Structure 1
Amino acid sequence: MAAQCVLEIFCLEVLNVSIPAGPSGHEQLTPSMRDVLRRMERAARTPMHQLGAAAAKAAYEAGAGVLEIPKQALARVEDLQIPARDGAQLPARLYASLGREETPAAGLPALLYLHGGGFTVGSVATHDQLCRQLAHLAGCMVISLDYRLAPEFQFPIAHNDAWDALQWVAAHGGEWGVDIRRIAVGGDSAGGTLAAVCAIEARNIGLALALQLLIYPGTTAHQDTESHRRYAHGLVLDEPAITWFFAQYITNPADREDWRFAPLLAADVDNVAPAWIGLAECDPLVDEGVEYADKLRMAGVPVELEIYKGVTHEFVKMGRVIAEARQAHAHMAAALRSAFGLA
């Protein structure tokens, strides 16, 4: 028990969150989520947005997996490279519960996964446990992409990398055992933004996707919803962090109005892939997630929306202590299995 507490405190320290007394919305938190935030408060470390990009990346890498469920063993985990339009080779990691020799001749359906981190932090490594769990529970292949990050690579590089990777998987995934007739795209936070935009791009060229799996995606050009005001301070993702992340990625103010950054501004979303959208109730991004679900529904797109009560942004990566994370994993896997036609 003592070792577990030390591990939790280490993780919460590197998340770099401080909590002011009694912020609006804290009364909604589950006991487990409130306990996580108390530990963050006691850690009293320098907030990520004050560290600088390099130190923030290192801090997130150091603690990203500590509150997650144990690493799921899989029959197949392979590191790959995917070419981008400018000749860069993008690292990626393939996960599958079946080995190459066990993979059906038609291949396995595949999810291209795009990690979160405000376009500035995060990697294949920080989302390794989550991708393993999705591959295990859904019985599909998961391909996790290391798209290039700000501030070294600014808008629209992350989008271009994600879209290039999705097209590559659709065209060449059969070489890895992908059933290219059954492909989905998904991600969390900034990765959810990228996934939503990729689904629109796919519609534009006639690439049929089975599903877009969006975990608390950012969808607005500006952080001006009521939930951004209500949850501006004291939770895992706060206003100073959001402002800092986007300042790393967007240097031209006009780019904030580009639908590839803010998919709510897309001219239309008719005929995009069906969506599963999972949101955290106590999250600055919850309102824009609901707005995007409404935009899709009004266009006739099938949408399954889950709002997990009493939890914050990043909760899906806290499955060791947050029960709602494990519920979300099961819901995501069920959505993937249904979209892929898996028994």
Structure 2
Amino acid sequence: MPRREAVVVAVDYRLAPEHPFPAGYDDCLAAARHVADHIEEYGGRPDRLALAGDSAGANPAAIVALAFRDEHRPLAAQLLTYPTTDDGDHPSRVRNADGYLLSRQDVLDLRFPYAGDDPAVRACARVSPLRADSHAGLAPAVIGTAQYDPLRDEGNACAAALTEAGVDVFARTYDGLIHAFLHLFRASPASDAAVTELHAQFKARLA
């Protein structure tokens, strides 16, 4: 029997527009707490619990990492691939607005049903983790972004904020790639190389 290197728990959290904020966040936090409290039942180790997500799924991963830090719960690492981290209109949302799978309008169309139109809600750290008061003490992070992605700059800004706060961060913007490259590894050698590197960096932090 092959050796099992990881136990993956995928959270089927509630989605907008039927379930706007904070439903999805609450589900992800509750699931992460449950796994942390019962990790041996899942076949995992308390010192190797980690969070991961891509695109919109990286948003609750980053926010739950903040909550775990504030609750003094151990977390070994976080893997954030082209994450949504801020409600602001970063330059890459304009430069890569159209023609690269995910458009600027797509981002806006997805964001409104989730966070509504209240500026205070959209700017709070539980929606925009980049705007947290402090990023110090967070789990080591592996952050991958794509050159031709509207979300590139906010992902890079997140990596910079964590680095400035003293967090162990591996961050790379992959030239020539677009949003969702994580799922294109079978069709694109460049995507395959990016996925391989990100997973290797994540594995190193879990080790």
- Category of TM-score, reference length = shorter chain: over 0.9
Amino acid at match of 2:95: R
**Pairwise mapping of residues 133-152 of structure 1 onto structure 2 (< 5 A)?**
139-152=5-18
Q: Which residue of 2 aligns with 1:299?
A: 165
**Pairwise mapping of residues 1-343 of structure 1 onto structure 2 (< 5 A)?**
98=4, 139-222=5-88, 224-254=89-119, 255-341=121-207
Count of paired positions = 206
Tell me how far apart the structure 1 counterparts of residues 197 and 25 of structure 2 sit (CA, whole Å): 26
Tell me how far apart the structure 1 counterparts of residues 12 and 192 of structure 2 sit (CA, whole Å): 24
Tell me how far apart the structure 2 counterparts of residues 221 and 179 of structure 1 sit (CA, whole Å): 35
Amino acid at match of 1:305: A
Deviation at 1:245, TM superposition (A): 0.7
Moved beyond 3 Å, runs of 4+ = none
Contact kept? 1:212, 1:275, Cα under 8 Å: yes
Deviation at 1:297, TM superposition (A): 0.8
Amino acid at match of 1:315: F
Tell me how far apart the structure 1 counterparts of residues 112 and 33 of structure 2 sit (CA, whole Å): 28
Tell me how far apart the structure 2 counterparts of residues 201 and 324 of structure 1 sit (CA, whole Å): 34
Identity percentage of aligned residues: 35
- TM-score of the aligned structures, taking structure 2 as reference length: 0.94
Deviation at 1:248, TM superposition (A): 1.7
Amino acid at match of 2:137: N
Tell me how far apart the structure 1 counterparts of residues 203 and 180 of structure 2 sit (CA, whole Å): 23
Amino acid at match of 2:118: P
Contact kept? 1:187, 1:214, Cα under 8 Å: yes
- Between structure 1 and structure 2, the one with the greater Rg is 1
Deviation at 1:291, TM superposition (A): 0.8
- Structure 1 residues 85-106: Cα deviation after superposition (integer angstroms, max 9, x where no partner): xxxxxxxxxxxx63xxxxxxxx
Deviation at 1:240, TM superposition (A): 1.7
Tell me how far apart the structure 2 counterparts of residues 235 and 294 of structure 1 sit (CA, whole Å): 24
Amino acid at match of 1:307: T
Deviation at 1:324, TM superposition (A): 2.3
Contact kept? 2:78, 2:202, Cα under 8 Å: no
Tell me how far apart the structure 2 counterparts of residues 300 and 155 of structure 1 sit (CA, whole Å): 30
Amino acid at match of 1:246: R
Tell me how far apart the structure 2 counterparts of residues 164 and 328 of structure 1 sit (CA, whole Å): 31
Deviation at 1:329, TM superposition (A): 2.4
Tell me how far apart the structure 1 counterparts of residues 24 and 194 of structure 2 sit (CA, whole Å): 26
Tell me how far apart the structure 2 counterparts of residues 235 and 336 of structure 1 sit (CA, whole Å): 26
Amino acid at match of 1:244: D
Tell me how far apart the structure 2 counterparts of residues 333 and 320 of structure 1 sit (CA, whole Å): 15
Tell me how far apart the structure 2 counterparts of residues 328 and 195 of structure 1 sit (CA, whole Å): 20
- Structure 1 residues 130-162: Cα deviation after superposition (integer angstroms, max 9, x where no partner): xxxxxxxxx222111111111111011111111
- How much is the aligned-residue C-alpha RMSD, in angstroms? 1.5
Deviation at 1:251, TM superposition (A): 2.0
**3-state SS in 2 of match to 1:301:** coil
